[in-house]
């Protein structure tokens, strides 16, 4: 326990150091956020705030995930590559926005192609792993569901959906980082339980894999905590798609390797609510010509209803805490 607490602290302190060093550099390079013109008017004041801040926590997370695991397993490496792959897509998107000063970066088809490549690679790895395979745990039952040949397409759908849902959650100061802090801490607890069970059953190779994955999850928790120092209201830096897609890749990898991707609507319930609000809004407007929400994603609806940004952020983080506690009681 002390070892993993030290990893959380290491990731936290390293992210703080990265923020101190890199935020002034991002300002000098004028890597400022171009705020969407169709967003809330209150956000226009945020224009020019440094973006691409995801590198603050991604560098410590990736380095810790590569260096500290000592086992012979490859779970941690898979999680690192998933995180880095999606983060790279986000970085390219942010770079285009920053350089060309456009509120939109990569074209939709370019993002989808990139996300498909990384998602398929992660799904194939999990499918071929002797410790994961094609079975997933059904929520609230403990039973397993063998998806067989449908495992890869279903997981690709879940991964892409999760990554883009995390991306949609990144709309308020401290929101995505705070929610992911809660989610990563929850996944860390689950990994610890699975690791302990594997050791008791004498499954040493599996235990090594989960021990290494626990290191990555602890680093993710500490990195999110450190980033909140700079991203809480009023934000000194935004994570950008670099950070939000990277976090989505990390959460997706952890859930697949734990065989609990079907639990994501609960553990990542805030992400799912944000994504569903966009789907409902678009469908309603196209079918009925009317909007359900004042604005989507969901956090903007509460903002435009008169709720202060900080209160919306706290409310969503508390919702994540309740959902994750509910999952821990039933998983």
Over the stretch 87-100, which tens digit does the pLDDT of each residue have?
999 999 998 888 76
Would you state the pLDDT for residue 22?
Answer: 93
Could you tell me if residue 263 is inside a domain?
A: yes
Residues 158-183 pLDDT 10s: 999 999 999 999 989 999 999 999 99
Q: Tell me the H-state helices in 69-200.
A: 75-100, 108-128, 151-169, 175-200
Would you state the pLDDT for residue 108?
Answer: 87
Contacts of 286 (CB under 8 A, 6+ apart): none
DSSP-derived letter for residue 68 is: S
Three-class SS state of 248: helix
- Cα–Cα distance between 250 and 271 in angstroms, integer? 14
Average pLDDT in the chain: 92
Half-sphere exposure for 304 (CA within 13 Å, toward CB): 13
Could you tell me if residue 330 is inside a domain?
A: no
Could you tell me if residue 215 is inside a domain?
A: yes
Output the six-digit token pair for 112. 């989808």
Three-class SS state of 135: strand
Could you tell me if residue 254 is inside a domain?
A: yes
Into how many domains does the chain fold? 1
Output the six-digit token pair for 304. 């435009």
Would you state the pLDDT for residue 44?
Answer: 52
Residues 97-115 pLDDT 10s: 887 666 667 888 999 999 9
Could you tell me if residue 291 is inside a domain?
A: no
- Cα–Cα distance between 87 and 90 in angstroms, integer? 5
Single pTM value for the model: 0.94
- Cα–Cα distance between 328 and 4 in angstroms, integer? 19
- Cα–Cα distance between 256 and 236 in angstroms, integer? 33
Residues 205-243 pLDDT 10s: 899 999 999 999 999 999 999 999 999 999 999 999 999
- For tokens 């802090």, the residue is 181
Residue 115, domain extent: 2-268
Could you tell me if residue 75 is inside a domain?
A: yes
Half-sphere exposure for 60 (CA within 13 Å, toward CB): 29
Could you tell me if residue 279 is inside a domain?
A: no
Could you tell me if residue 301 is inside a domain?
A: no
Residues 249-258 pLDDT 10s: 999 999 999 9
Would you state the pLDDT for residue 187?
Answer: 97
- Cα–Cα distance between 227 and 54 in angstroms, integer? 8
């Amino acid at each position: 326990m002390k070892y993993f607490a030290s990893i959380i602290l290491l990731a936290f302190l390293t992210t703080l150091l990265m923020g101190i060093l890199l935020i002034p550099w991002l300002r000098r390079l004028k890597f400022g956020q171009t705020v969407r013109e169709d967003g809330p008017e209150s956000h226009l004041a945020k224009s020019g705030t440094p973006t691409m801040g995801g590198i603050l926590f991604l560098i410590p997370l990736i380095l810790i995930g590569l260096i500290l695991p000592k086992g012979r397993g490859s779970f941690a490496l898979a999680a690192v590559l998933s995180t880095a792959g999606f983060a790279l897509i986000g970085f390219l998107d942010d770079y285009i926005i920053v350089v060309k000063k456009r509120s939109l970066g990569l074209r939709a088809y370019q993002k989808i192609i990139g996300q498909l490549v990384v998602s398929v690679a992660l799904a194939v790895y999990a499918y071929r792993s002797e410790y994961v395979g094609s079975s997933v745990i059904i929520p609230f039952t403990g039973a397993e569901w063998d998806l067989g040949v449908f495992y890869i397409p279903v997981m690709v759908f879940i991964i892409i959906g999760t990554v883009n849902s995390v991306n949609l959650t990144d709309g308020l100061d401290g929101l995505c980082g705070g929610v992911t802090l809660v989610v990563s801490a929850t996944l860390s607890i689950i990994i610890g339980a699975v690791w302990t069970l594997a050791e008791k059953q004498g499954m040493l190779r599996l235990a090594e894999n989960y021990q290494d994955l626990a290191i990555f999850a602890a680093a993710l928790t500490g990195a999110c905590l450190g980033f909140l120092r700079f991203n809480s209201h009023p934000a000194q830096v935004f994570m950008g798609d670099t950070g939000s897609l990277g976090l989505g890749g990390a959460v997706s990898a952890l859930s697949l390797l734990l065989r609990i991707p079907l639990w994501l609507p609960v553990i990542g319930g805030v992400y799912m609510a944000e994504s569903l609000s966009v789907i409902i809004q678009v469908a309603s407007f196209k079918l009925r010509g009317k909007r359900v929400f004042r604005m989507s994603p969901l956090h903007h609806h509460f903002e435009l209803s008169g709720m202060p940004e900080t209160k919306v952020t706290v409310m969503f983080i508390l919702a994540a805490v309740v959902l994750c506690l509910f999952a821990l009681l039933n998983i």
